[in-house]
Amino acid sequence: MMKWLVVLSALVAFSECLHRMPLIKGKSAREYLEERGTWEQVRQQFPYRPMAKFYQTGTESMTNDADMAYYGVISIGTPPQSFMVVFDTGSSNLWVPSVSCNSQACQNHHKFNPQQSSSFVSNGEALSIYYGTGSMTGILGSDTVEVGGISVANQVFGLSRTEAQFMAYMKADGILGLAFQSLASDNVVPVFDNMVSQGLLSQPMFSVHLSGNSEQGSEVVFGGIDPSHFTGQITWIPLTSATYWQIKMDSVTINGQTVACSGGCQAIIDTGTSLIVGPTSDISNMNSWVGASTNQYGEATVNCQNIQTMPEVTFTLNGHAFTVPASAYVSQSSYGCRTGFGQGGSQQLWILGDVFIREYYAVFDTQNQMVGLAQSV
């Protein structure tokens, strides 16, 4: 994003010069260009935006944990205490472990110490959040939170006192939710909403690039997009609900045949879920169509030698087709090959998780309540 800021600064500087710099015999740049009939053309190409130098975007690098989770480092407090958090578009609260937590999950993670932050304010309100893999309980407090170089004042967040056993195996310390406030426990204002309301961003949007094959390079950009991570045009899809990042899915097809979501359904774009998750019957049908068999653990396995000949799966979202090849929906490990289609979703709501987002750069626009998708590179 730095190169775009440099270009923007140059344009602003040039525009300011057009307003101020004398050229010939006391004439301003504007007068000089108006005499030649080119002022309007130049003005449109280099619009005058005196506040642009105060706008910013924040780029947060994320670590790819075996294509299963993506997390980055934030800081909380004065002086700052650092934590690794999952950036989760499927939830809305920020929370980290606290020194008051005695659960096993807290013992191998960084813990926030309120007494070591001069800017911490406790409100003592209880917090309880449930996820697909476990839950946490704790209390709320507020402090300065820094994400991607952006400092958010008076951010309310959770300090865990208990955490589910599963979270002991998470590499990340906590979770930073990026869904809407309507979904937040205790109606806490999410971090991104505060970035917008505090005037910290150039645009009320953020975007996500997820790398594949455990490679680095994943990032979330607050306040804009990074064109280096996608090719072609961004397709904009309106939200059907401003809770999750929820959109209309028309169908799931393989070789031109509808294999799931017949008649339409709802789906959410969720960075906090590893797989593409849907109703049991639909997922079973999809796995059958791609030649997978379900093992004793409920995992859909395929012969690794067949990946090159397995069909693409197309997800049609609000009339736009997004295709995911077998190389993207099949994961390979020393234990074999498994599809990235998971059972457990409801008939009403699918989850398009990391398997999908790795293929499509995702832009989340709060002002217009849309999701933008473009082919990742």
- How far is Cα 43 from Cα 17, in angstroms, rounded to an integer? 12
358, 373 in Cβ contact below 8 A? no
- How far is Cα 292 from Cα 306, in angstroms, rounded to an integer? 10
Which residues are paired to 112 by β-bridges? 98
- How far is Cα 105 from Cα 201, in angstroms, rounded to an integer? 34
Q: Is 217 helix (H, G, I), strand (E, B) or coil?
A: coil
Q: Determine what percent of the chain falls in helix, strand and coil, rounding each to the nearest 5.
A: 25, 45, 35
Question: How far is CA 121 from its chain centroid?
Answer: 28
Structure tokens at 21: 């710099």
- How far is Cα 166 from Cα 153, in angstroms, rounded to an integer? 31
Torsion angles phi and psi, residue 178, rounded to 5:
-120, 15
* DSSP, res 71: E
Q: Is 250 a catalytic residue?
A: no
- How far is Cα 98 from Cα 107, in angstroms, rounded to an integer? 10
Dihedral Cα 305, 306, 309, 310, nearest 10 deg: -140
CA angle 364/370/373 to nearest 5° reads 65
In order, the DSSP letters of 264-278 are: -EEEEE-TT-SSEEE
Q: Is 88 a catalytic residue?
A: yes
Radius of gyration of the chain (CA): 24
Residue (of 177, 166, 218, 175) closest to 90 by Cα position: 177
Catalytic residue among 88, 173, 193, 282: 88
Tokens 């209390």, located at residue: 139
Catalytic residue among 67, 193, 250, 270: 270
Catalytic residues: 88, 270
